[in-house]
Amino acid sequence: MTPVEVSAPEGIGRMFRFGWVFGLIWLFYLAYPLGEVLALPHLWQKVLGSAAVVAFGATFLIVIWGFRTANRSGRALDIRWAWFGLIVMGSLIVVLAVMIGSQSFGATIYMAVLAMMTLPTRQAWASVAVLVVVIEVVPRIVPDWDPGSFFAFQLVISAVAAWGITQVFKRNHELAVARQQLADLAIVAERERVSRDVHDILGHSLTVITVKAELAGRLIEIDPARAAVEIGEVEALAREALSDVRSTVGGLRKVDVAVELANARTALASAGIDADLPLDADLVPLRNRELFGWTLREAVTNVIRHSGARRCRVDVQASRIEISDDGAGVSEQCPGDGSINDDGSIGNGLRGLAERVKAANGTLTVGRSGTGGFTVEVECR
């Protein structure tokens, strides 16, 4: 597991780990109605009012806890649960309003905060607007109620603060999810790269090993010394292929067009195919050497394995490489963007090469050569 894979879920967890503390902070505003309740003359009024305040605060914390739990599990809180909590809290404010008047409206700040944190944006702001209207209008039409409080202003400020904090939580959550997705995509891309490189390396090496083993089998009766040489080369190629696979998995494998020219010359000669190859590839700039090396490796592998050709020609320029043969050619069913299997269908070799060329902003062209066989051309800008 990569560090990014670990940090993403942990970041989501940290985001809501102290959500209960955030809820408790808002209990400060219950001091307004609680102070008025405790100033009532009768004990039963104090007990009933205090119970209403406690029930109000408990309802707020329960819904906040549900919001926190839902977000930690990656799901949204049921809106019906949020509305139920708001209705209960509104009913308790009505009870307190009968007992202490407009001072009970200090508790509406909780309703505004809860609405902003749990409801969709439009419903939340609509709820806040309704609460503001109630706070400003009701004290002016009810006798003996004080309309000069600042509850409406405090309510709006608290709602804006809650909305801002909620948006931060939401963006951080989305960022953590995006980081996790990027980490997953990076892992998939790396696996595809390794599998593509291993396929290309083993496809070429095993093709040459097969050709040399067949040649040794034919020579073992008529020329044992030559057969022994071929068997020795098969062993060396097998060891080299194993080393290449290990280097590729470790991210150390580098392919160079000059090395692949030498390998192609040996492989084509072993397969009995006349090779028309340049003596060197010094004119190829460093930025193109690896891509041209992969191109040459894949194309020569296809020539040996599938073409039945007698001659193979390689043309290397600074920004272009072309490999062509005079073999069976490409079937009409092949659209020219994948390697050719024995039945003319598309394999994985040239498909992987096409991905390499695309990553290098180059152009891959495959099709029928001028001699009737198969041609592969890669051109870089």
Instruction: Tell me how many domains the chain contains.
Output: 2
* Residue type, position 376, single letter: V
- Final residue in a domain of this structure, among 182, 207, 224: 182
Side-chain half-sphere exposure of 232, counting CA atoms within 13 A:
6
Q: Give how far Cα 169 sits from Cα of 118, 174, 367, Å.
A: 12, 9, 55
Q: What is the C-alpha separation between 97 and 94, in angstroms, rounded?
A: 5
Give the distance between the most distant pair of CA atoms in the chain: 122
The pLDDT assigned to 322 comes to: 94
**What is the tens place of the pLDDT at every residue in 316-363?**
998 999 999 998 775 543 443 344 444 444 456 778 888 889 888 899
The average confidence (pLDDT) of the chain is 78
CATH number, domain with residue 323: 3.30.565.10
From 132, 151, 182, give the residue that closes a domain.
182
Q: Give the residue numbers spanning the domain of 298.
A: 273-381
Residue 314's beta-bridge partner residues? Answer: 323
* Residue 201 covered by a domain: no
Q: What percent of the chain has pLDDT over 70?
A: 79
> Quick one: 284 and 175 in the same domain?
no
Residues in a beta bridge with 312: 275, 325
Residue 317: CB atoms within 10 Å: 15
Q: What is the pLDDT of residues 267-289, one digit of tens each?
A: 898 888 999 999 888 888 888 88
pTM score of the predicted model: 0.45
Q: Is 365 domain-assigned?
A: yes
